[in-house]
Amino acid sequence: MSANENEIKAETKETGRLEAFSDGVIAVAITLLALEIKVPPIDEGGALLGRLIEQWPIYLAFLLSFATIGIMWVNHHRLFTVIRRVDHNFLILNALLLMGITLVPFTSALVGEYIGHEGEEIAAMIYSGVFVVIAVFFNLMWWYAARHNWVVLEGENLRMARVINRQYRFGPLYYLIALILAPFSVFLSIGLNIALAIYFALPANVVKYLIFREEI
């Protein structure tokens, strides 16, 4: 094994543990989302099915939040497939990103419980607001990694990375629009969040087609 290979191994270990820790935090946060779905108390009147159906905003919030955190994980995963180094500032940026993600079970519960009640606009604003913050830190991480030439890409991969980058660059703006929409229409604000989850879940080559009108 050459010195170079040992170095690659050391670097892989370096990012490896950051990925493992981030995976742990994201995995716990995404699983805690489901804790918000509560079993209706037995002693209350009414048929179980009806009371379960009444909780539909909780399920909607769960589905949307799960999809959004899931996509964030995919994005995080992708980021680390193209970089091999981290430094102190990058660790801090990553920690701030994770802080945003751990707040999602709270904002998801907030919006799930307040939709259709007084205060739903505030709930929807906070929901999108946390996603603005997370999207900002994602962009900062990509930008920081690019600025330090950590991104290792060639040929078709480089091209695809540019597409992904373009797909995500406007994330903060999109979520900011959802935030600004909330006081006017919670329906539109949440609807935009759903549309964004679908948009970010599209494979990169579909996005490439949508953006460049190129053959896939």
Contact residues: a copy of itself, CB under 8 A: 1, 5, 12-14, 17-21, 23-35, 37, 39, 42, 47-49, 52, 63, 66-67, 70, 73-74, 77, 80-81, 87-89, 91-92, 95, 98-99, 102-103, 105-106, 109-110, 113-114, 117-119, 122-123, 126, 201, 203-204
- C-beta closer to a copy of itself: residue 52 or 146: 52
Q: What is the full DSSP assignment across 148-213? A: TT-B---HHHHHHHHHHHHHHHTHHHHHHHHHHHTTT-HHHHHHHHHHHHHHHHS-HHHHHHHHH-
Angle at 155 between CA 154 and CA 157, to 5 degrees: 70
Kindly state the smallest distance separating residue 195's Cβ from a copy of itself, in Å: 17
Q: What is the full DSSP assignment across 49-68? A: HHHHHHTHHHHHHHHHHHHH
- C-beta closer to a copy of itself: residue 70 or 194: 70
- C-beta closer to a copy of itself: residue 118 or 154: 118
Kindly state the smallest distance separating residue 67's Cβ from a copy of itself, in Å: 8
